[in-house]
Amino acid sequence: MLRDKIIEIGKDSTWYLVSTIVSAFIGFIAVPIFTRIFEPHEYGIYTLVATAITLGAPVVFIMVTNAIVRYLPEYEGRGELSVIFTTVLRRVPIFFALMFCLCLPAVVIFAPLGRYRLVVALGISVFALYTVFRVLLGFMRAMRMAWQYAVFMIIVQFGRYIVGALLVAKFGMHVEGIFWGWLGTLVLVIPVELAILRVWKRIKRGAFSRTLERNILSYGLPLILVSIFSDILTAADRYMVQGFWGSKQVGLYSVVYTLVTNLEAILASIIALGATPVIVRFFEQEGEEATVTLISRITRYFLMLLLPAMVGIWVLNRRIVSVITSPGYMDATKAVFPLVLGVFISNLQWLPFLSFQIKKRTDSSIFPIGISAVFNLALNALLIPLFGPKYGFVGAAWATLASYVLCLFLVVRAGRKYMRWEFPWKGSLSIMISTAAMGLLLFFLDKILFGRWYGLLTLVIAGMLFYSFTMLATGGFTKSELTFAKEILSRAFPKRGEGRH
């Protein structure tokens, strides 16, 4: 049973891998484009609005999407999918009315936005549509429609970055061009999502359940507070840097933060997106002890992906930044080490956090995240001015690292009351050895290899091959894991005529 669940996770994660690699690539190539068409202060403005969308929208949809993942298996098992679809989507028209008829006019008319009024108006519109887009993706994820999820994520990323950049470059638009591309793509994509999910057939009069709505609220409302506190941990530093030293430093900081997130944190989502729905179903079927074992195994795979990525970014940080940005952004490399380690710890936190979700005790997760958010604000207020007008953003990076260390400690400690997290110390030794060896190789090769894109690509490929070879040599990949990998690929991409299982 454990083996089958790991294969299920791997099958779905293969599609999430495709999605995240393509999305990350689109986001990655957007950085050199944006840093060439925007000055640092313009890039800082774009980042502030885009960050408000991508971190503010989850305040609304995280409650719903997590509840869908947690409760849909129960209703699907009873043949009552119409109940959960009707109950969740009944409030969408009210949400749209609040955003477009109340919030948007109020902000546009009364807020002192100056020449960025259109940018903020577009941001609010994107916020509303992006929220609904993610709720519909939540249904796809819970129903394990992994390839559909992947396609929609790629399309929206393409519209946001590539179409937006073309509007700026070819039609003389400024920062607002990015948001026009994003908004237009969402307008086209959401009706297709509704059709694929067969929403019109699954929403039925009389299927609305007040009991389910109360369950969603009791399960999800604490996650809104968690999301707000997480947003503070993730984004408050950029607004504080803006307040102390201006948008140029925000631009420098955001370049590094975007790179680290795209190249490291996205790898974590490959596992997390596929694993969470399967873990929930596994817990319902097999109980707590088997689930603890499954999460421990997943932790090992998580480390297998994230540790080498973290070390690779750190060792090659100057080459990476020089390749994908213009010379005016090189000072940003001073924030790489604390950010790359902080984002790694932030992603690792997802594993012990599962105990709150599985046991339906999301209310208990508020305390550790909240304490860490307050600590983050206080530390940023101290370190950003302390590091001075030129490198204040580096102080923000160190505050981020310290806050995520505290958060992980508190989450692990609080989560033990509900379900323990068994860290695979023994199984991680070969991963650590292989990662350290890869880091040393990259350090020396970086000194002798010339060329920008060519040299970076050569180093990345050499690092991946050397890491894989060292893992095989030290027994890091077991025979069963190699067999699993082959079976996962065969199930995700079956040969013609075999069908899907």
Mean pLDDT of the region 466-476 = 86
Rounded mean pLDDT, 354-374? 87
Task: Work out the angle at residue 376's Cα, subtended by the Cα atoms of residues 222 and 341, and round it to the nearest 5 degrees.
Answer: 100
Asked if residue 289 has pLDDT above 60, the reply is yes
What pLDDT was estimated at residue 55? 67
Residue 129's alpha-carbon distances to 12, 99, 126, in angstroms, are 26, 10, 5
pLDDT, average across residues 157-169 = 83
Q: What is the secondary structure of 253-265 as a DSSP string?
A: HHHHHHHHIIIII
The amino acid occupying position 250 is: V
For residue 96, pLDDT over 70 is answered with yes
* Structure confidence by residue, pLDDT tens digits, 439-449: 999 999 988 87
Q: Is residue 494's pLDDT more than 60?
A: no
Instruction: Please state, in angstroms and as integers, the Cα–Cα distance from residue 189 to each residue in 18, 181, 185, 269, 339, following that order.
Output: 19, 12, 6, 22, 34
What is the reported pLDDT for 170?
76
Q: What is the mean pLDDT of residues 359-363?
A: 82
Q: Can you give the pLDDT at residue 7?
A: 47
Give the pLDDT score at 270.
Answer: 66
Q: Collect all residues with Cβ–Cβ distance below 8 Å to 3 and sequence separation of at least 6.
A: 480, 484
What percent of the chain has a predicted confidence (pLDDT) above 90? 19
